[in-house]
Amino acid sequence: VGTNQNDLNLNFVNAPLEMVLNYLSDAAGLMIVLDTHVNGTVSVIGKHVTRDEAVNLLNSELNKSGYAAIRKDRTLTIVDKNDAKTRNIPVMTGNDPKGIPDTDEIATWIIPIRFVEARQLVSDLSLFVSPQATVIANEAANSIVITDTQANIRHLVQIIQVVDGSAEAETEIRVFPLKYASPVDVADELSSVFPSSSSSDSQSPVTFGGPPAGPGGGFTPFSGNDGTATS
C-alpha cells in the first residue's frame, strides 16, 4: 500500500477476489460496497497504474466471474452482472463509436439513428449482441437503447455507423414546382403508386431529406404550402 492513489502496483495471481477488493480500498481510497456475495479468484498484473485504470482492470476480471462494478465518485458497488442493468449505471447518448470508452464498465447508451429504421436495425443486429445485453428500439425517436459493457456497445455502434451511413448515400431530395395541380393531391397519388412497405401501425424515421420509408422502399411525401411537392 503506497501513498499515491494514482500510482498503484497490481500483482495478483489467482488471488481471492475479496483480497483484491481490500487492496483497492486501502491503496486507491475506494469504498467497496458488496451487494452480492463474491467468490472466485483474480489474476491481474500492472505497474504504475492509475485508480481509473485499476478499476477498469478489475471490471474486466469481475465480468469473467459474473459480477459488475458500479462506480460513483469513490464508491465502488459490486453487484451481480444480471442485476447491474436495473441499477444506477451511467446513461449516455451518441452515435460516434470513438466517443464510447473501450472498457468493461456496464452502461446504457441511447444511439440516434438517422436513415434506417431502428426496429429493423435491432433485428438485423441480433446475431452481434452479447447474451447479457439489453437492446430496445425506440420507434418514436428512431433510436436504439443498449445496456451492456461499453466495449460491446462500442463494437455495435461501429456496425450501426456503417449501416446507417450506407443508407445516407442512397438518399436524394428533389423539389418539383407545380403549376396547376394541388401538391396534396399529387402527393396522395404518388403515395398510392409507391406505397410504403412499412405496416400502418409502425412509425418510420422522420428525417427531412431521409430515405424512402421502410426497408424495401416506398414514397414518403411532403407537401408544402408554396405549391410544391417534395419527395
- The string of pLDDT tens digits covering residues 162-210 is 988 887 665 566 788 888 888 888 888 887 876 554 444 444 443 333 3
Beta carbons of 125 and 164 less than 8 angstroms apart:
no
Beta carbons of 112 and 141 less than 8 angstroms apart:
yes
Cell of 144: 436504439
20 — alpha (psi -120 to 50), left (phi > 0) or beta?
alpha
Q: pLDDT over 90 for what percent of the chain?
A: 35
Place of cell 450506407: 166
Non-local (6+) Cβ contacts of 124 within 8 A are 163
Non-local (6+) Cβ contacts of 113 within 8 A are 95, 121, 142, 143, 144, 160, 164, 205
Beta carbons of 96 and 127 less than 8 angstroms apart:
no
Q: What is the pLDDT of residue 27?
A: 87
Q: What is the pLDDT of residue 207?
A: 38
The per-residue pLDDT of the chain, averaged, comes to 81
Q: Rounded CA gap, 147 and 22, in Å? A: 29
- The string of pLDDT tens digits covering residues 38-81 is 888 888 888 888 988 988 988 888 888 889 999 988 899 999 98
- The string of pLDDT tens digits covering residues 122-157 is 999 988 998 889 999 999 999 999 999 999 999 999
Q: What are phi and psi of 50, to 5 degrees?
A: -80, 170
Q: pLDDT over 70 for what percent of the chain?
A: 80
Q: What is the pLDDT of residue 211?
A: 42
